A and B are shown apart, each in its own frame.
Chain A
């Protein structure tokens, strides 16, 4: 009896695998899409600003203003353009030729020497608020370094009594690539697991081949395992491929254990597959399945998972919603495993959450998937 079951299951899995192998679009989604997405995001999405064009307005050139301008010119963060008057700099800001203005008024050096207030005007294009914040930080940093140097060179008392030093753990250079690429693996696995499964299984409902399967002696459990196993293998293949690209192409360090990454990925993959299957059962046609998969899995994975936007900063009710997004837990796992290492408290809580989601979605699939026609 048991050999019969294994034989049936084996036959079903063989049929499903052949179907995947014969349909080039599934292979393309599993292997071509990760490459395209990783390259697009890895190179296209960067939050690291360098060579920001800024305008420097010096109304009265002398040694003090020259040394400050020199500090900006030496910085790799800026590409300074010089203006004689604030009006022409403001016009350049309006025309989007520069992102900000550093304005040294004509009494700057005189006030500095006399020990009066010598304010420096800074104007920033705030449209992209995040970049504006970063630019502002860089300007402040450059200015502080100059001030320290300037005071020291003149034997003056320290301008800054408290000296703030930063130490950034896990990502010392604050490179956004190291932060984005691991999270991207979660997005790619969501697309493979949910979108691919939802569309392909919906196609079976649409074409009626699912009905053909139902009249076979296969049991419900065998049908489910047989359907999902090949996609699981395909998805894990796509995952391993993405990890290889992340490590060798983008130079992201994998500080945690590879086996933990494999186990947690398998867990997440199963959740994604269950959701994909559920979508296909509910929608039963490819078009709806595709739309639903994008709205229910891809967009939340992109926006609500902490992959790009910080969850702590979202409004309270949005934060509550993020707990329903499986990618949230997996993004936390991959970011930690890649950059920080095997931090057990983070890994265990997030894997437990994924496990609960797995049980929940599989029990839903079990209830909704009936071996009969409605």
Chain B
């Protein structure tokens, strides 16, 4: 194999990539925009849930409960109502997400020692927000119960849950989303760079010139793959650095294990990108092809919603997706402090995927040539 020639081709690819305004745009602008938008806006954390209090009970016990809601950072009481008919407009108009209804006999029941009902009415239009707001409310009520019992001299609740979260101790969704963006952007950039490379030469007619050089098809393929891998590595490194410095996300595991994952992932992505490039006749088709691969790959990867929640059939489909494995590696190394041993089952499927896609790309490449 002519390494000198491959090297020369790779250099030429880099120059072509960096000189072309469109390619520069693709490498630089979308990643930055996406990193910022996703990192700041994509959050499942819920705070300042707008709440209305409907307190029909004038007793001390009810006031104590209301003040606990008012003091919670998760809730923001924006209305106090005193009629049943006020509930529906507040929820219908999305002014509040939750109405807490304290019945007339609340304090009296508590003092008598019978069950004191407390009703929460939630807007279920956003099911996730509703569920989490309900969880917050339940924790407040649980605390309230415990201190009520303690105050009554009943020695506190006998059983309690002591919950700890591992790896993401404060349960911040940014810790989950930002490492995912490392994987996402690495995929997007690598895929576009490689998918456009052959298509651009075909469109501009320079591909024929490349064919009459002494380079063999396999060598052309390798020369085309190198820029994608190098740019992917640089982009991944940059985002990992930003992740640690800008977003204060730890990197607890082995860096070597992370980079082994990055290289395997890049090989799979380059394989897919070159396949698209070999099939596409124009840059337009290449971009469309990349988009057609990217959208399902991102959705079926566990990037924003868990794979375990998908139907079984769809879950099987995700095994074909290199992003699935790489996401586990990035999060595993960053948050869970993983090293090589715990990630073996993520490495080998990517080796298989990379071998198949690269081989297919080589085959397609040779077929499209004649």
Contact = CB atoms under 8 A, between A and B. Distances in A.
A46 B160 contact: no
Given A47-B305, A163-B116, A313-B46, A136 B163 contact: yes
A168 B332 CA distance: 36
A66 interface: no
Interface of B: 22, 25-26, 29-30, 33-34, 37-38, 40-50, 65, 89, 91-94, 97, 110, 113-132, 134-135, 137-139, 141-142, 144-145, 148-149, 154-169, 171-173, 175-176, 283-284, 287, 295-296, 299-300, 304-306, 308-311, 314, 328, 331-332, 335-336, 342
Nearest to A319: B41
Nearest to A120: B161
A198 to B, nearest CB: 13
A112 to B, nearest CB: 6
B22 A119 contact: no
A299 B125 CA distance: 22
A169 B124 contact: yes
Contacts of A26: none
Given A117-B158, A315-B40, A318-B40, 11 more contacts: A119-B161, A120-B162, A128-B176, A130-B128, A161-B149, A164-B141, A167-B121, A170-B124, A291-B25, A299-B33, A310-B129
B350 to A, nearest CB: 17
A291 B30 contact: yes
Contacts of B306: 49, 128, 131
Contacts of A5: none
B50 A312 contact: yes
A248 to B, nearest CB: 18
Contact of B116 (A130, A161, A168, A303): A161
Contact of B162 (A96, A121, A128, A172): A121
Contacts, number: 294
**Top-8 shortest CB links A-B:** A171-B124, A126-B165, A126-B168, A137-B135, A130-B44, A129-B171, A46-B309, A168-B124
Contact of A116 (B154, B158, B300): B158
Contact of B41 (A179, A303, A346): A303
A158 B115 contact: yes
A162 B295 CA distance: 47
B165 A124 contact: yes
B51 to A, nearest CB: 11
B127 A132 contact: no
A165 B128 contact: no
B308 A52 contact: yes
A175 B300 contact: no
Contacts of A321: 41
